[in-house]
Amino acid sequence: MDRFLSELKRRRVVRAALVYMGAAFVVMEAADLLVEAFQLPAVVFSIIGIGCVAGLPVALVLAWAFDIGPADAEELPDGSPAQTPWLTARSVTAVVVLVTFGVLLGMAPQFLLDNSEGPSSTALRRYEILLPEDAPIEFIGSAPLAVPSLAMAITPDGNRLVYAGSANGGGTRLYVRALSDFEVRALPGSDGAYAPFVSPDGRWIGFFAEDQLRIVPIDGGDARIVVETPNARGGAWWGDDRIVYNDREGYAHWWVPVTGGTPTRLHIDPEDDLSNGAVPLGREFQPLPDGERFLVTTPPGRVAAYAPGTGKLEPVMDIPVNVRVASGALVYAFGNDLLAVDFDADAPAVSGDGRLVGSELRRDDDLAQFVVSDQTLIYATGAPYGQRHLALVDLEGNVQRLEFPPARYVDASIDPEGRRLAVTIFENQADIWIYDLETLARRRLTRGGFNRRPHWSADGERIYFSSNRHSENGTAAIYRTSPDAGPGDGELVLEDARNLLIDQLHSSDRAVISVLAENQIADLYIADLRNGTMAAVAQRGNVVEALGQISPDGRWLALTVDASGRFEIVLQPMEGIPDLRIQVSTEGGEEPLWAPDMSQIFYRYGDTLYSVPISFDGDRPVPGRPVPVFQDPTWKNVLGFSYWRNPADGRFLILRADQPPTSRSLRVVEGWKNIGVKDR
- Tell me which H or E stretch contains 621: strand 620-623
* pLDDT level of residue 72 (50, 70, 90 thresholds): very low
Check residues 146 and 555 and name the one with the higher pLDDT: 555
- Whether 666 shows a pLDDT value over 60: the answer reads yes
Domain shared by 507 and 643, yes or no: yes
- Whether 106 shows a pLDDT value over 50: the answer reads no
Domain shared by 33 and 171, yes or no: no
- Whether 111 shows a pLDDT value over 80: the answer reads no
Domain shared by 509 and 551, yes or no: yes
DSSP 75: B
Domain shared by 143 and 91, yes or no: no
**End of a domain among 245, 266, 287?**
266
- Tell me which H or E stretch contains 47: helix 42-66
Cα gap 649→180, rounded to integer Å:
55
Question: At 212, which CATH number?
Answer: 2.120.10.30
Domain shared by 408 and 531, yes or no: yes
* pLDDT level of residue 63 (50, 70, 90 thresholds): low
Q: Which of 183-192, 298-307, 363-372, 389-398 shows the lowest mean pLDDT across its residues?
A: 298-307
Domain shared by 107 and 139, yes or no: no
- Whether 44 shows a pLDDT value over 70: the answer reads no
Instruction: Name residue 307's beta-bridge partners.
Output: 312
Domain assignment of residue 531, yes or no:
yes
pLDDT at position 206 is 97
List the strands of the sheet with 665-670, edge to edge. Answer: 125-130, 665-670, 376-379, 370-372
Domain assignment of residue 550, yes or no:
yes
Q: What is the mean pLDDT of residues 434-442?
A: 94
- Whether 121 shows a pLDDT value over 50: the answer reads no
- Whether 117 shows a pLDDT value over 50: the answer reads no
Contacts of 189 (CB under 8 A, 6+ apart): 214, 216, 222, 223
pLDDT at position 332 is 92
Domain assignment of residue 290, yes or no:
no
Domain assignment of residue 312, yes or no:
no
**End of a domain among 212, 242, 266?**
266
pLDDT at position 152 is 96
Domain assignment of residue 321, yes or no:
no
**End of a domain among 116, 151, 168?**
116
First-to-last C-alpha distance (Å) of the chain:
66
- The 3-state DSSP class for residue 213 equals strand
Contacts of 141 (CB under 8 A, 6+ apart): 151, 164, 166, 171, 172, 194, 661
Q: Which of 84-98, 312-326, 333-347, 431-445 shows the lowest mean pLDDT across its residues?
A: 84-98
Q: What is the mean pLDDT of residues 573-599?
A: 90
Cα gap 68→246, rounded to integer Å:
81
The total number of residues written for the chain in this structure: 680
- The 3-state DSSP class for residue 26 equals helix
Cα gap 349→316, rounded to integer Å:
5
- The 3-state DSSP class for residue 502 equals strand
Domain assignment of residue 239, yes or no:
yes
Are the C-beta atoms of 59 and 92 separated by less than 8 Å? yes
- Predicted confidence (pLDDT) per residue in 272-302, tens digit: 655 544 445 667 889 998 889 999 887 656 8
Q: What is the mean pLDDT of residues 308-325?
A: 84
Residue range(s) defining the domain that contains residue 251? 134-266
Cα gap 517→260, rounded to integer Å:
33
- Predicted confidence (pLDDT) per residue in 155-197, tens digit: 999 999 999 999 987 889 999 999 988 899 999 999 999 999 9
Domain shared by 410 and 468, yes or no: yes
Domain shared by 433 and 501, yes or no: yes
Tally the C-alpha atoms within 13 A of residue 570's C-alpha that lie toward its C-beta. Answer: 20
Are the C-beta atoms of 11 and 68 separated by less than 8 Å? yes
Cα gap 668→371, rounded to integer Å:
10
- Whether 130 shows a pLDDT value over 60: the answer reads yes
pLDDT at position 545 is 86
Check residues 670 and 523 and name the one with the higher pLDDT: 670
- φ/ψ bin of 674: left (φ > 0), alpha (ψ from -120 to 50), beta (otherwise): alpha
Domain assignment of residue 445, yes or no:
yes
Structural domains of the chain, count: 3
Domain shared by 83 and 188, yes or no: no
Check residues 246 and 73 and name the one with the higher pLDDT: 246
Question: CA 192, 566, 295: angle at the middle one, nearest 5?
Answer: 75
Domain assignment of residue 524, yes or no:
yes
Domain shared by 614 and 479, yes or no: yes
Are the C-beta atoms of 209 and 190 separated by less than 8 Å? yes
Cα gap 194→163, rounded to integer Å:
8
Contacts of 1 (CB under 8 A, 6+ apart): none
Question: In the chain, what are the helix, strand and coil shares in percent, each to the nearest 5?
Answer: 15, 40, 45
Are the C-beta atoms of 196 and 205 separated by less than 8 Å? yes
> What interhelical angle do 89-115 and 13-37 show, nearest 10?
10
What is the value of pTM for the model shown? 0.76
pLDDT at position 519 is 53
> What interhelical angle do 42-66 and 89-115 show, nearest 10?
160
Check residues 230 and 109 and name the one with the higher pLDDT: 230
Bond into 348 cis (ω within 30): yes
Bond into 77 cis (ω within 30): no
Q: Which of 46-50, 205-209, 562-566, 599-603 shows the lowest mean pLDDT across its residues?
A: 46-50
Domain shared by 108 and 195, yes or no: no
Domain shared by 499 and 648, yes or no: yes
* pLDDT level of residue 26 (50, 70, 90 thresholds): confident
Cβ-in-10-Å burial (0-12, 13-18, 19+) of 666 comes to: buried
- Predicted confidence (pLDDT) per residue in 317-367, tens digit: 877 668 899 989 999 998 899 999 999 999 999 998 899 999 999 988 778
DSSP 203: S
